[in-house]
A and B are shown apart, each in its own frame.
Chain A
Amino acid sequence: MLKRIIPVALAICLAAPLAAHAEYPEGPVTIIVPSKAGGSTDATARLFILSAKKFWPGAEFVVKNVGGSGGQKGFEEIAAAKPDGQTIGMVFTTQVVAHIVSKRARYTLDSFHVMGNLNDDPEIVVVPPESPYKTLADFAKAAKGKSMTVAVNGIGSDDFIAAKKFEENAGVDFNLMPTKGSTEQKAAVLGAHVDASFMNLSQMFAQHKAGQARIIAILTKKRSTLLPDVPTGIEQGYPVEMTATRGFVVSAKVPAKIIKKLDDLFLKVQNDPGFIAAAEKDNQFLLPMTGPEYLKYLKDLQVETKRYYDKSPW
């Protein structure tokens, strides 16, 4: 009897710590969200966790909000985290590449292993409800005659680059007003303190529907299913495209074995019907991209952003 028990007991004793050691994750996985709690990037992270827990039942996830400075603080923290896979993080465009381009960042795209993209938020051009401009053409024409005040999220943001693209395309010069974020932009547009604002669809479509603001263009290839009546920039003869993507990355120094596990988890969440349903209910626009796809997207975006930076450095 004892002869049989002892080897089993020994095996358990030896295997248990070994298994425990080999098993990643050890303890909670921190997700660095480079924006404040309660925002849309934050919501994406929290929905991700909700779904990820289904696939990694024992694992714990913690959100760490590192807001401010256009996400730079958070991006740097992801890149500088201990490379054990216990810290992953989110990036959003164009800020993540804009900081590299403006030589401010202490990271490059090579600092990250890109896991993939989850969703995006199309760029829009929005004017106050009583504004005389109904189309991009009206707007561009008026902008040639006078200096239009246009609110954007901070310098180097998707809004800023989109505004720069539009300036180049339409041959106009805006009086750009950087803000601390969508709250200030909303207040500035709804209160008619500015002539227009470049911002994201999720931030304004409700106000558009309620007649508190007017979206005159959406800057993506196709119209949004949410607002089928709003024409794209391309349709109106201004081929300017911009969208804010939100993806996941992890430090590039993390061992390949762990990276594989993380990539696998990410793909599972991306295709989880529960996650898709929750995201859609939250009015998030899904834009699934795999790691390599998203990396290519980021690299292209960096080249494009650099072109605007070199033209007029900020």
Chain B
Amino acid sequence: MNKRLVGPALLAGFLLLAVLLHRSTAGYPAFVQGSTASYVRFLAWSLGILCVADLVFSLRRRTAGAGEDETGGRNPRRFWSLLVLLAAYSWALGIFGFFASSLVFLPLTMAAMGSRRPLPIAGTTVGILIFVYIVFVQLLEVSLPEATLF
């Protein structure tokens, strides 16, 4: 994605959001038209005006916004695999429960991030899970995601 296009594209999106937000307030009950509905309308107007102003400004200085690439030495393969793994993990949590999902997620992600030695992978995985069991389950009685499959 070209960085120079991201800004204006987002601004256009927000402008649309502002219009939708403004239109939605018509559906508020009559007795809040003067209070919360007008607050939301105010937000919509502010968002719209600010977006238009920023669009105008960014057109006036076309070369601006190049900036330094803060992401430096990013590794796209690892970046995307982590994102996919995270999405899969979120999905798995609801189906297989916390411990089963984590037992797969942790080693898999470690491998994807470049870990090669089995001992640290196994040790860290088991260590984290034991810690969670002791602190979350035993001490604080926090309910963890449970398997809904069975």
Contact = CB atoms under 8 A, between A and B. Distances in A.
Chains A and B directly touch (beta carbon < 8 Å):
yes
Interface of A: 28, 30, 60, 62, 64, 82, 314
B29 A28 contact: no
Interface of B: 29, 31, 141, 143, 148
A62 B29 CA distance: 39
A60 B29 CA distance: 45
Contacts of A82: 148
Chain B interface mostly: loop
B29 A30 contact: no
Contacts of B29: 314
10 contacts: A28-B141, A28-B143, A30-B143, A60-B141, A62-B141, A62-B143, A64-B143, A82-B148, A314-B29, A314-B31
Chain A interface mostly: loop
Contacts of A30: 143
Contacts of B148: 82
Given A62-B141, A64-B143, 8 more contacts: A28-B141, A28-B143, A30-B143, A60-B141, A62-B143, A82-B148, A314-B29, A314-B31
A28 B142 CA distance: 11
Contacts of B141: 28, 60, 62
A82 B31 CA distance: 39
A177 to B, nearest CB: 10
Contacts of A314: 29, 31
A64 B141 CA distance: 10
A60 B143 CA distance: 12
Contacts of A64: 143
Q: Lowest 10 A-B CB distances belong to which pairs?
A: A62-B143, A62-B141, A64-B143, A30-B143, A314-B29, A28-B143, A314-B31, A60-B141, A28-B141, A82-B148
Contacts of A62: 141, 143
A314 B141 CA distance: 40
B18 to A, nearest CB: 26
Contacts of B31: 314
Contacts of B143: 28, 30, 62, 64
